[in-house]
Amino acid sequence: MTRSPLPPVPARDMAVDLLVIGAGTGMGAALAAHERGLSTLIVEKTEFVGGSTARSGGAFWIPANPVLMENGSTDSLEQGERYLRAAVGDSSPEARWQAFLANGKAAIDLLRRTTPLTFQWTKGYSDYHPELAGGTAVGRTCEPRPFDVSVLGEERNRLRSAGVEAPVPMPVTSADYKWMNLMFRIPHRGVPRVVKRFAQGLGGLALRREYSSAGHALAAGLFAGVLEAGVPVWTCTAVDRLLTGEGGRVTGAVLTQNGREVTVTARRGVVLATGGFDHDMDMRHKFQLEATQPGWSLGSEGNTGDGIKVGEEVGAATALMDQAWWFPEVAPPPGGAPSVLLAERSLPGQFIVDGSGRRFVNEALDYMSFGQLVQERERAGDPVGDMWMVFDRGYRNSYVFAGSLLPRMPLPKAW
């Protein structure tokens, strides 16, 4: 549900130790800085806090992290290193993914210290390439437990809405969705999950609590930590350009709020956490697919490549610009919203064909590889074109579809 945002805190000229641009996962960087005693400011271009984080699945994949180890996982950093070496290879500098591996535990410990979030292991959510060295079918994915968003108080109206919301108030985690999707096939596992989350949602409302899950819960928990720490957040405030000093060192930024410029000096540095460029069509056509159309994104509307642009202006390098968090979705009707395809592609009784009616993919492929395959076809001069999912009545009567259509419910006429 979209809410009316609060008026933004007026921006002004000031100096801080760390300036964080972007109020999604950038809030985690701000919490780390605050814990080290640094004065910190977060600025956000849109009216809402949360960015694409609030619209995401909210999961994190970190080998041998404390949530895994406390819940009986046999994972290790050595296994994680083998998997990253096999999966990432030379597509990213080894020092970068080694740093990710080495600091993952500290990152999760930080979130547990500085926010009210709690986490769970989504056991059985496989690594995307379990066949690679170090991969595991039992998975390493963890996610927030349902979180009471009402703890934000009046700041609740500043939190971005979730990307996918249940038709009734119930906080559905990834672990729940698996069994809910199979509740007509395996009712003894699925039905109790539905009842539990439905009761939690309705019971929460009776107690004036608002339980959320996935990325919305993660963003809300980060925001709660930021509010508790007293880190200021300026919304409706965009980055115009970075300031540099001796040797090209970044020393701050010029920001714009409601047409008025202010300068923030950053004594220790600037963190660019502005998201991608999914809503900048010029950049998408330049670096990705010419066939991309406006609206082909589930990300925050503020994702127009601002951090990339101001970074390039002061000499920053870029890489992997052809990549994104790809995700197949059902094309929306005119004026409607898209519907993401979660487990639907991996279930029996359906297949996907391209615009010429050819089956072209293993439907159960992870969404990243699915998107990369579509791009490869485009660049090879054999575009996929319109994609169609073909299924029978047995499939439709057995599984949840597009996140909201329960088994046996008719497809919307607009489809």
184-239 residue pLDDT tens: 888 888 788 778 887 777 777 777 788 889 999 999 999 999 999 999 999 999 99
| Per-residue pLDDT at 102 | 96
Please check the confidence at residue 335 and state whether its pLDDT lies above 90: no
Q: What is the spatial distance between Cα 264 and Cα 254, in angstroms, rounded to a whole number?
A: 6
| Per-residue pLDDT at 292 | 83
Q: What is the spatial distance between Cα 282 and Cα 235, in angstroms, rounded to a whole number?
A: 26
The model's pLDDT over 38-49, given as tens digits with 9 standing for 90+, comes to 999 999 999 999
Please report, rounded to a whole number, the percentage of residues in the chain having pLDDT higher than 70. Answer: 97
Q: What is the spatial distance between Cα 63 and Cα 138, in angstroms, rounded to a whole number?
A: 12
Range name among 15-29, 117-131, 256-270, 336-350 with the lowest pLDDT average? 336-350
pLDDT average, residue stretch 342-371? 91
Please check the confidence at residue 167 and state whether its pLDDT lies above 60: no
Phi-psi region of 375 (alpha: psi -120 to 50; beta: other; left: phi over 0): alpha
Average per-residue pLDDT in the chain?
91
Please check the confidence at residue 403 and state whether its pLDDT lies above 80: no
The model's pLDDT over 277-288, given as tens digits with 9 standing for 90+, comes to 999 999 999 999
pLDDT average, residue stretch 357-385? 91
Say if CB 399 and CB 408 are below 8 A apart.
no
| Per-residue pLDDT at 97 | 95
Range name among 116-130, 139-153, 376-390 with the lowest pLDDT average? 376-390
Q: What is the spatial distance between Cα 22 and Cα 160, in angstroms, rounded to a whole number?
A: 13
Give the confidence band of 29 by pLDDT, cuts at 50, 70, 90: very high
Structural domains in the chain, CATH included, are: 8-161+213-325 (3.50.50.60), 170-209 (no CATH), 329-396 (no CATH)
The model's pLDDT over 62-111, given as tens digits with 9 standing for 90+, comes to 999 999 999 999 999 999 999 999 999 999 999 999 999 999 999 999 99
The encoded tokens of residue 123 equal 């056991």
Please check the confidence at residue 343 and state whether its pLDDT lies above 90: no
Whether the CA torsion 289, 294, 300, 306 is positive or negative: it is positive
Please check the confidence at residue 347 and state whether its pLDDT lies above 70: yes
Please check the confidence at residue 412 and state whether its pLDDT lies above 70: yes
Query: For the stretch 293-332, what's the b/e string if a residue is b when 16 or more beta carbons lie within 10 angstroms of its beta carbon?
Result: eeebbbbbebbbbbbbbbbeeeeeeeeeeeebebbbbbee
This prediction's pTM: 0.92
pLDDT average, residue stretch 115-135? 96
The model's pLDDT over 273-332, given as tens digits with 9 standing for 90+, comes to 999 999 999 999 999 988 888 888 888 999 999 999 999 999 999 999 998 888 888 887
Q: Edge-to-edge strands of the sheet including 119-121?
A: 60-61, 141-144, 119-121
137 closest CA partner among 155, 152, 125: 125
Please report, rounded to a whole number, the percentage of residues in the chain having pLDDT higher than 90. Answer: 68
The encoded tokens of residue 315 equal 């000499």
The model's pLDDT over 2-15, given as tens digits with 9 standing for 90+, comes to 567 788 999 999 99
| Per-residue pLDDT at 164 | 63
Give the confidence band of 341 by pLDDT, cuts at 50, 70, 90: confident
What is the tally of helices (H) and strands (E) in the chain? 11, 15
